[in-house]
């Protein structure tokens, strides 16, 4: 059985993080630009599948897979860093029982 290195992220979750970054762009400009780069890589990963399949360029499959997993991997990394108190992440969802 194949296990994915990161869970899938829904469009609503991507939009929620993007909206947070946009609202706090003045306070967190690097995070705003970094999230734009993450979304750009994600989109390139999805769009890259068309030429990969049409041109039979199977060597390009790995960058496409990594590109499509980029938001999930980034969110997982930020969540772990936040829980280890190495990096503060305000856009993470709080659990329902948290104050």
Q: What's residue 94's pLDDT? A: 60
- Report yes or no on 98 lying in a domain: no
- Report yes or no on 90 lying in a domain: no
Q: What's residue 1's pLDDT? A: 45
Which residues constitute the domain of residue 42?
11-83
- Say what the pTM is: 0.78
Question: What region, left, alpha or beta, does residue 56 occupy, with left being phi > 0 and alpha being psi -120 to 50 degrees?
Answer: left
- Report yes or no on 49 lying in a domain: yes
- Report yes or no on 25 lying in a domain: yes
- Whose CA is closest to 32, among 41, 21, 16? 21
User: What is the C-alpha to C-alpha distance for residues 54 and 43, in angstroms, rounded to an integer?
Assistant: 18
- Report yes or no on 34 lying in a domain: yes
- Report yes or no on 92 lying in a domain: no
| Regions of the chain where pLDDT drops below 50 | 1-2, 96-99
- Report yes or no on 2 lying in a domain: no
Number of structural domains in the chain: 1
Q: What's residue 11's pLDDT? A: 84
């Amino acid at each position: 059985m194949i296990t994915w290195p990161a869970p899938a992220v829904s469009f609503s979750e991507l939009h929620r993080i993007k909206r947070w970054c946009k609202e706090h762009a003045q306070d967190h400009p690097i995070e705003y630009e970094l999230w734009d780069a993450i979304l750009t890589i994600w989109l390139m990963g999805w769009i890259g599948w068309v030429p990969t399949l049409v041109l039979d360029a199977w060597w390009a499959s790995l960058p496409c897979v990594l590109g499509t997993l980029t938001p999930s991997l980034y969110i997982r990394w930020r969540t772990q860093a936040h829980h280890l108190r190495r990096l503060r992440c305000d856009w993470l969802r709080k659990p329902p029982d948290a104050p």
